[in-house]
Structure 1
Amino acid sequence: MPPQSHNILESGYWEEIKPDFKLPAPARAAQWFLDLIRPAFLTRAAGPRSKQVIRRTAYLDGLRGFAAFLVYWQHHQMWAREAIAADAIFENAFGYDNQYYFAALPGIRTFFSGGHFAVTVFFVISGYVLSAKPLQLIQAGEYLKLGDNLASALFRRWLRLHIPVICTTFVYMTSWHMFGIWTSTEHKSNWPDELWNWYVEFKNFSFVFRTGGEPWFTYNFHAWSIPVEFRGSIVIYTSLLALSRCTRNARLWCEVGLIFYFMYIVDGWFCSMFMSGMLLCDLDLLSANGNLPSFFFRLEKRKKAIFYSLFVISIYLGGIPSHSLDVQVLKVSPGWKYLSYLKPQAVFDYKWFYLFWAASFIVASIPRIWWLKSFFEMRFNQYLGRISFALYLVHGPVLWTLGDRLYHATGWSRESHALPLASWINIFPLSKAGPLGLELSFLVPHLILLPVTLWLAEIVTKLFDEPSVRFSQWAYVKTMAPSIKS
């Protein structure tokens, strides 16, 4: 029967009425393909904006999407300007080595070199989201349901994270040999050798207990964070189960203790970020139930000042100079001398310590600052959130293929690419006038690059990302014992 065809005038929009008969297989295949490649802006919305219910944590989706865009933007900024070593400007403090650029100013620098900040935000959000349902069950004393929830989540997590990586890198790798596409990455002489190398790299790259080797995956360097996501997920699931029978205060103190351990005792910076997300989620759920420790109620009158302060601190710390691993460089960076003494002994790469606080503070402050929360709940940020994983995975291959050629065409050539891309150099030269990072010859290629990247991210979301969620759920149900299913 046609769905809900009554009250069409009152509803304010027409719903598509689906016919009772089935289309022929070729027609269904054609319809599926059109739905796959059709960009979101050509798709009719399900209804007016006012009728859409915004979830409690929708701002986290928007924040994740915006963070994914910052990663995209930083990688393009650095890639196009390799010839002038712009990373030494973007990733050093404003005024370091007498370099004064608008793009390096505190706060402003987030929009040019905020990629690392964005990744740490991913980790804190993941800790928050992964622990939300289990913490609800813990606080409600539903321990049997908690076991079921964690079993399902743990079974599905590796598949959900790695299937999109497998699919996108396989397609990217195959395109080199199928279409003869040149990229700066070293290619094998033939596809079978490439396939074998891809397999060997991926199996080691995706092994959760890997203790050595390079953290990079040749077929998508940006995917380094995916195994880290999985390891952080294991930390969350383990901690949830271990702390499930604790009292409220004991659980909160243990969460704080684990954060301290991972950041100040051992170099487990990413574990601290996941645990920070879990702690923030625990506190939010307790707050919603009016069950926060009394300490927090004493801060209620200063709530606005506290969270605005945390947001400002977050933006400043999120701009941590990261061009060098040497903390002595940080000590002579303007605005960072005294902050450099806060670095724990355990942390090898100091930037992760400051980014831990930056990411934790911004995730904590956004829902308490109404205009920030509203910004991340905007439709475009929600759209970015929906495709954020795919955007993270595809922006690199687009940059290394189409982007590399367009930048050469508008005047941003790289010496190492001059010979293989000689036919692209300066075929459409544009002015490099303007502040660093906003030159006309850099911005114009994004009239093509950004829509193409977003469009491919939509396709990957529909073709690999969303199906990976359904497949992992299907696999879990298929492997369940009959007694559990009933």
Structure 2
Amino acid sequence: MSPRKDGILDSQEWCDIKPSWSEKSKWLAEGVDWKPTTLTRSRRPSRLNLARLKSFFWPVGDAKQPDTLRPTAYLDGLRGFAAFLVYWHHNELWAHEPHVQNRIFENAFGYENKYYFVAFPGVRHFFTGGHFAVSTFFVISGYVLSAKPLGLIQSGDHGKLAENLGSALFRRWIRLYLPLMAITFIYLSFLHLFDIWVDNIDRASTWREDVWLWYCELKNFSFVFTTGGSPFFSWNPHLWSIPVEMKGSIIVYTALLAFSRCTRNARLWCEAGLSFYFMYVADGWYGAMFVMGMTLCDLDLLAKKNDLPDIFNKLEPAKTFIFYHLFFISMYLGGVPSYTGDVMKMRDNRGWYYLSFLKPQAVFDYKWFYLFWAAALLVASIPRIFWLRSFFETRFCQYLGRISFALYLVHGPVLGTLGDRLYTIAGYYKDSEKQNLAHLVGKFPLPKIGPLGLEPAFLLPHLVILPFTLWLAELVTRSIDEPSVRFSQWLYRKTLNTSTTPTKF
């Protein structure tokens, strides 16, 4: 089957999307039998070279919309749109930090008698929805990682289940960390090569010294059982979620194996109990998100077989009513005030006083409790709300879904280099910029009128930042992300007994 038609559930992992980038695969699939009739020189190679050159400088043009969408294409779109919200979230906070406006962005509407459109419930996700987006990543990952294994569990094929889980676990670390290593190493070298100052990054005096420090930090950052210390990677703090992704993946694979021989009802109860444990007993909020994604996938697969527990069938007549309400609850909870981690400060936010008492004792950073429910309800409700599902199946969202992992990897370095300088030129700068980028400070000041978060001084720099970020994300998808997927698959195949043929997943 053509990779261009693969949906998110047809890949073993949530970002194993391998689209075709040229028409070459098309004529190969057609099996055209051709040969040159003469030895005269053709102009086709030069045209091909021009096409390749164009493809390098603007690879977005090569992206093709699949002929047909898979039933779970909305998950690709949701993941892509969430990655875009992370990009926008970080840009909003970076630009407005000098004016001490982040407390407006990350607190509720009306906090300290400040009423800004940017903080209004529901609207706030389009400005500072990054934490909500990351929580949605984790629920989607739990869903996708468990899709194939759950199908095998429900069909009773435990032999293929073992093979599937073994392959997935072998490839997962490579698939997550190889792109991270490449991007951060290139970024480190780029800063040294051109002697570029970046706020919040303390460079060593030499490249070799920084490479050694990078290695020492990376080996601990990529160790799944590391405890204590900072959760952030110095060369790209936004990648803190990658180790969490790895931990959540192991939780999912382990739970799938543990529950593989349970009856339907016992398996569902075990999944619910594990989510409860991670959220209400231990401070393992990310584990609860991954397991909830697995549970939603289990229920969806059972629904396709008309094998849901009776209670769900009784609720069928009110399905539309229920899921619309779950969606609106998700939108509200996803806007949890998160300027500080102090739950007492949360209670000062209008509309959150009574909700603050729902926080379990086990959860240290309260926002993840509310985001767990918000992300779970969002992923559950989208496929049952037609217009919402249709939005995430649009070409725009599907494109973002294809480059989402690379977008997540590169938006931080672009923001710290190009973005910071453009914001400084436009009039957004701190003391550190005045000291290190004095030649750019206020070089072309733009007006800061209009709604907070939509000022011309903030929006106009994105005429450069956004296209460049998307271009770089596309380039990284093709040159680093997809090759890392193929490499992990190749390496796994090389370790197998040549006398047996592995099942393709």
Same-fold call, TM > 0.5?
yes
Alignment of 1:231-380 (within 5 A): 231-380=247-396
2:139 is equivalent to residue 120 of structure 1: no
Q: Which of 405, 414, 420 matches 2:421?
A: 405
2:150 is equivalent to residue 131 of structure 1: no
2:194 is equivalent to residue 179 of structure 1: yes
2:467 is equivalent to residue 448 of structure 1: no
Give deviations 1:262-304, integer Å, cap 9, x for gaps: 0000100000000000000000000001000011000001100
Counterpart residue identity of residue 103, structure 1: V
Q: Is the 8 A contact 1:36 1:463 kept in 2?
A: no
- How far apart in 2 are the matches of 1:213 and 1:395? 25
Q: Is the 8 A contact 2:85 2:129 kept in 1?
A: yes
Q: Which of 67, 70, 88 matches 2:82?
A: 67
Q: Is the 8 A contact 1:36 1:459 kept in 2?
A: no
Give deviations 1:340-389, integer Å, cap 9, x for gaps: 11000000000000000000000000000000000000001000000000
Q: Which of 383, 386, 390 matches 2:399?
A: 383
Aligned to 1:480: 496
- How far apart in 2 are the matches of 1:453 and 1:485? 41
- How far apart in 2 are the matches of 1:337 and 1:455? 44
Q: Is the 8 A contact 2:341 2:365 kept in 1?
A: yes
Aligned to 2:124: 109
Q: Is the 8 A contact 2:55 2:61 kept in 1?
A: no
Provide closer, same or farther for how the CA distance between residues 402 and 286 of structure 1 changes in structure 2, counting only shifts above 3 A: same
Deviation of residue 203 (structure 1)? 0.5
Deviation of residue 27 (structure 1)? 8.1
2:440 is equivalent to residue 421 of structure 1: no
Aligned to 2:181: 166
Give deviations 1:66-97, integer Å, cap 9, x for gaps: 00000000100000111112211111111111
Counterpart residue identity of residue 356, structure 1: F
Provide closer, same or farther for how the CA distance between residues 481 and 69 of structure 1 changes in structure 2, counting only shifts above 3 A: same
Q: Which of 453, 459, 463 matches 2:475?
A: 459
Which range moved further: 408-417 or 119-128?
Answer: 408-417
Q: Is the 8 A contact 1:114 1:319 kept in 2?
A: yes
Q: Is the 8 A contact 1:165 1:393 kept in 2?
A: yes
- How far apart in 2 are the matches of 1:35 and 1:150? 40
Q: Is the 8 A contact 2:59 2:475 kept in 1?
A: no
Counterpart residue identity of residue 138, structure 2: F
Counterpart residue identity of residue 73, structure 1: W
Counterpart residue identity of residue 310, structure 1: L
Q: Which of 210, 225, 235 matches 1:209?
A: 225
Provide closer, same or farther for how the CA distance between residues 20 and 229 of structure 1 changes in structure 2, counting only shifts above 3 A: farther
Aligned to 2:169: 154
Deviation of residue 38 (structure 1)? 3.9
Give deviations 1:157-177, integer Å, cap 9, x for gaps: 000000110000000000011
- How far apart in 2 are the matches of 1:156 and 1:122? 19
Counterpart residue identity of residue 166, structure 1: M
Q: Which of 40, 54, 62 matches 1:43?
A: 62
Q: For 2:439, what is the secondary structure of its paired residue?
A: helix
Q: For 2:436, what is the secondary structure of its paired residue?
A: coil
Q: For 1:213, what is the secondary structure of its paired residue?
A: coil
TM-score (norm 2): 0.89
Counterpart residue identity of residue 120, structure 2: L
Q: For 2:261, what is the secondary structure of its paired residue?
A: coil
Counterpart residue identity of residue 174, structure 1: S
Structure 1 outlier segments of 4+, above 4 Å:
14-21, 26-33
Give deviations 1:176-197, integer Å, cap 9, x for gaps: 1111111111101000001001
Counterpart residue identity of residue 223, structure 1: L
Q: Which of 446, 449, 453 matches 1:430?
A: 446
Alignment of 1:81-96 (within 5 A): 81-96=96-111
Counterpart residue identity of residue 263, structure 2: T
Identity %: 61
Q: For 1:273, what is the secondary structure of its paired residue?
A: helix
Counterpart residue identity of residue 94, structure 1: F
Aligned to 1:10: none
- How far apart in 2 are the matches of 1:34 and 1:478? 34
5+ long unaligned stretches in structure 1: 1-13
- How far apart in 2 are the matches of 1:42 and 1:32? 11
Q: Which of 222, 244, 249 matches 2:238?
A: 222
- How far apart in 1 are the matches of 2:379 and 2:269? 20
Q: Is the 8 A contact 1:159 1:472 kept in 2?
A: yes
Deviation of residue 484 (structure 1)? 3.6
Aligned to 1:471: 487
- How far apart in 2 are the matches of 1:197 and 1:162? 17
Deviation of residue 39 (structure 1)? 2.5
TM-score (norm 1): 0.93
Aligned-residue CA RMSD (Å): 2.1
Give deviations 1:111-154, integer Å, cap 9, x for gaps: 11110000000000000000000000000011000000000000
Q: Is the 8 A contact 1:164 1:465 kept in 2?
A: yes
Deviation of residue 485 (structure 1)? 3.1
5+ long unaligned stretches in structure 2: 1-22, 29-33, 37-41
Deviation of residue 40 (structure 1)? 4.3
- How far apart in 1 are the matches of 2:229 and 2:353? 34
